[in-house]
Structure 1
Amino acid sequence: MLLWATLLVLASASGQFATLILQTPLSVFEGDSVNLRCLARAGTELENMEIYKNGELLALLGENNDFNIRRASLENSGNYHCMGVKKSNHEPVVSKRVKIQVQELFSRPVLTDSLSESTHGNQVTLSCKTQILPQKSNVILQFCFYRNNQSLESGCSNNPGLQISAIWPHYSGFYQCKAGDVTSGIWKESQISQIYEQRVAEVQKATEFVTEGQELLLICSVDRNPKNMNFYWYKKRGYLSSGAKYKIASVKNSDAGEYYCRAGSFTSKPVTIKVRVPISQPVLTARTRQTQIVEGQQIILNCEVDRSSPEILYQFLHEDTVLWETKTSSILASFSLTAKHSGNYYCIANSGFGPKRSKVLKLSVIVPVSQPILTFHPAEARTVEGSVLTLHCEDPRGSLPILYQFYREKLLLPRSSTRSDTGASYRFSLTEAHSGNYYCTADNGFGSKRSNTVSLSVTVPVSQPILTFYPAEAQTIEGSVLTLHCEAHRGSLPILYQFYLETSLLDRSTVHSGVGTSYRFSLTEAHSGNYYRTADNGFGSKRSNTMSLSVIGKTWVPILKKGGGGLGIKKK
């Protein structure tokens, strides 16, 4: 059972509890299931929670803000911290770093052997030695022994020792032991040791190479009882040591050569020991002229090993796909980078005794932004005042994050700068002043690019028109000239005006410029009545106020004609 510790970080200035903390176990052992939890202070709402290890992003957290390590290993040791963003003001919040040290459940086992005599002949006792931490003394380990990759006996047991017969030739071979905890699934292997038995009068020549760094054990045995028999070991003609066994804990290249032993009056035939130098782990490096890897640059991959056999086969791989093979050079010919070259690279070096793989080299090819695309939603270039318009700017290729900005007639729109991974939008309600040319820019640090220009014309629906008379009298004498003037103070051109007397259409005209329209006519008594006018620019007709007009007819009066012509009548 893991003990939990909650790390409370105090603010340096205010002395209050920190906004974000990382909750970790007090101690972690190999094989443990470890749960890391990012906790926000009460009353604080965070989003976009992330957890980091050694300064690198480890995972995006879910709704419960937990990160689980199902089975801890030594590689999980490191410094961890959480990061989130306040929902209220989008302010980033970072927890204090917490160091997690995964403790080794038990040490790597060491395989030892000892030769002894019994009534059944020589016996070799193999011991698989390891040490368990005191805190985990209740763990019961299982031990397995192998010769030439084949399991000895019936399998694994809780006994760290195993006795086998030293009867030649079955005893010679490569030995290894494993120790493990079945519950946690942690298993560790010892170093491979070569044990070679040599008989006096009969020589078994080693056919396998001994790898540098491995253990070599030579045993001198006889068919008869070795009691009171002295054993001596030689290399070529030089004396090495005495005893039935000659052991080299870590073989070097200089240990190659011919060995033989003497037992009493018997001398063995020489046995040749060949030592192979293991290939070191190759190192893959990338060389470019600039510090940042940008699309279009030339790159050279170089795979090198410190020491090994002269002839090495090199392979270069990208996401497990072989790109290049060579035996003559460790350098991959340069190539121009594109976005598809991002990913994990590694190389494999093989000198004929097993391949060795380099660590993964991660390349992130930065793609400069292309020309962004600006679109309107809704898509009409002519939009009605009062409606909501959304500008959307998106670059289809550039590496993230990208800074987007929106402009109208070369002026940056207020609060329009934003960093986004999926394009950016700017939303606002339209007025007549918003008509003009719009464009956006995109920039990811490698040069800003400007979109195409999109024109916007905001259409203003007509307001209620105002009808006036010139002259302004509501009663007018028949025969006089009257001017009707109608004007809508607001509304986009062109505007269709129509004059009505009662319900009869008197005149219609379309105004493309200026303000309002007029209708002029001479009055008759038939022109008495109610007048109004309508205005329409395609977004709904508006009717003016109604004006009443009363036309007064002229009266007839008698007149006396000169010269005795009698009476006449004149309209007055």
Structure 2
Amino acid sequence: MDPPALGALLVLAGLLLLSGRCGGVPSLYTIDAVALTLLPGPTVPSGTPVTLSCSVSVSHDSARGLMHVFRFTRFDALVHAVNSTAAEARLRLQPARATDSGDYECQVEVKEKGRRSEVQRLTVTGLQTPVFTLSAGVVYEGGELAASCSAAQEKGALLFQFFQRQAGGAASLLKQAISEGNRSEARLVLREVGDRDMFCNYSIPMASHAGSSNSSNTLHVLVKALFISPVMEVLPSTSVFEGDVVEVSCKVVKAPGSVDVYLNKGGKVLKRGAVVLSHRLTVGAGDGGEYVCKAEHGAAQKETYQTIRVKELFSRPVLSLEPLEVFEGELMRLSCVIDSYSPERVVIENMRFSVYKNQQLLVPAASYSAIALPSQNGNYSCRAEADSQGRPLAKESAALVVQAKVPVSVPVLSVVGGRLVVGRPFALRCHSDSGSLPITYTLHGPRRPAQTREVHWAGDEAVFNTSSVLRRADLLLFLCHAQNNELSAALTSAGQELLLTTEVIEPVSRPVLTLVPNGASVSEGQDLMLNCSVQRGTLPVTFTWFTSGRTGPLFFQTLQGHAGTYTIAAVARGRSGGYYCEGSNPANEVKRSFTVVVGIQMAGWKKGLMAVMCVLLLLAAVLAVLHKRGLLRRRGKTLSVKPASTQSIGLTAAVESRPVNVTPGVMGKSVWSEHVSGSDTDEQNSVVSPEEAEPQHTEDTTSDPSRGPVKKGTDAVYSEVRKSKQGVPEEPADGGSVEYAQLNNDSGRNSGHRNSGHRSSGDLNNGLQGGGTVPPDSVDDIDELNNTEGATEPEVCGPDTQGPDC
């Protein structure tokens, strides 16, 4: 926008703002009060001028007045509106009528603000007396009059009422109507004959306090009797035979003017005429009944009644079929008969009959016979004719539908679902492909009562619930009979067809679990075969193997056979326990075998190894016992024996006060034994601890000084002999060490093994056995033996030993 245009726009805006200020439009204002006044007062008689004055008081900050909008309402409906700068507005009611009564209110609006006055109730009392007029003063009974009732000075909606008052009676309301104006017109029907006075009044529905107006002027009306009752005549009589001609006439005598006459029967107008009419008809059996003659003059009506009775010459023919239910291929017969006739008018021999099919003449006779075929089906009827006084009369029968029934076909017996399980209940369906309904089906089965089902409509089936069969061949014993004609034999189904069309499932028998090898002779490392078999059952069969203590199956397989095998390769000893199998087939019935307990034996090489270990353990135990019994004990003297490798034997013996038994030759060493207490039991023998059993190194003072000490366990075995009495070892004469040996060999054994060798040793043994003390020279001999080089080890006599000393 260019600068000159922008400047002009700013100047115009300033002028408008200035003009607004100059116009005196205040920026601050408030409505103080609004008052409504009724003049001359709130209650006035009808016809009085009334003024409603509405005043308002507004405070504002300008010297100029404000524009006020005044609205007058009655019952919240707008009556009058005024726009004025004055502080008062008026509504004039000149004159006020009862319809002006109501609750008035004034509302004043100033700019965006508004305020209402208090409600003022105006009551206008009194109503105008209406004016009543009639179109005529004389009328016939049932005639109509045009009436008018008006109140010229009233306004608004008015309710007008029209009354009549007969001589000496009370007024009765004839009619009432609501009019939006001050006038109402109505059509009044006067039905009762006589004189009467008529008048009207009105009321205001919206001003119920005003009540009803005074009654209008009264007009006198004469209602004359109307003699238009028709005269009715039936010729030749009111009782006739069918086929007779009857004439009915209706007329009004001395009609007062235009009169309409009607002949009616059963609500149907047969004929209409002016003042008089005549109607001729040939009556039939259905023409009897009540006839009405009615005369109308304006709104007035008069009626006359006559009843005509018609006798039948003969009854309506009836066409019948024999038999009632005909089947295709059977003989059917149609017959046309009448139940009654009038012999005074009809000769039965002269009557004529004919049979029709589909409205076409079939035979001119009272009967018709034929073989029932599909081509014979159709709608049949018959006709009977007779003459009465030279006039023919014909009647037709009702239509008869002939539909030959179809014989039932051979039924077919089948299992519902096409499958059954041996041992379980099942359902059988018996059905015929053709045959008219209803059809009765009867089921016969082995070892059960017969069952019957009747099929009445299409889509229905004969289904029989039956108990189980024990074997497949039992199906041959089921039979089904179908019949829809009592006069013919029932047709029977064939059990062979049921057997051929049914899938028969036989549940599996109880499985048998066998083991290869036998469960009691299974060794670890062998292959264990678990064979599960059933004797009977429909294939395929599913075999499942289980073991106790384990969740879930070991293995399963589905086979086209009655046996299955599960192999456990290189069975371990941990696989011992109970085994069983289950069998199932499409019958969905699981059978379980008995549980077979399997004990896995140890492998042979393990047994041999254990046997060797047992022998070794036993030998070790024996050696331990022998060693335990052969422990060295401290005695009064020390006895030393060297092995053969040393080529010298050192023997030191202590002299005891009791006999000592010595038995050499155990484990290649010389062993000396003695009984401490002299008894045969070993429990009294002294037991030496393992520490004491250890051989101790002892220097042999009698040996060669140049030789070193004897090594433990190899060069020499040192024994220590304890003294039995004092328990204190005797010191040797040469000051050397003394060792004690306790020899625990039995006396019996000692007697069987005699030591043979050097003399000194034998002398020592003899001395010990004698229970005496070893002499000193014997001890010297022993020392000499110990020091002798190249001495041989003494021989041990046994069962297999032969020598010069044994």
Where on the TM-score scale, by shorter chain, does this alignment land: which range? 0.3 to 0.5
Kindly name which structure, 1 or 2, has the bigger radius of gyration based on alpha carbons.
Answer: 2
Comparing both structures, which one devotes a greater share of its residues to strand? 1
**Structure-2-length-normalised TM-score:** 0.30
Comparing both structures, which one devotes a greater share of its residues to helix? 2
**Structure-1-length-normalised TM-score:** 0.40
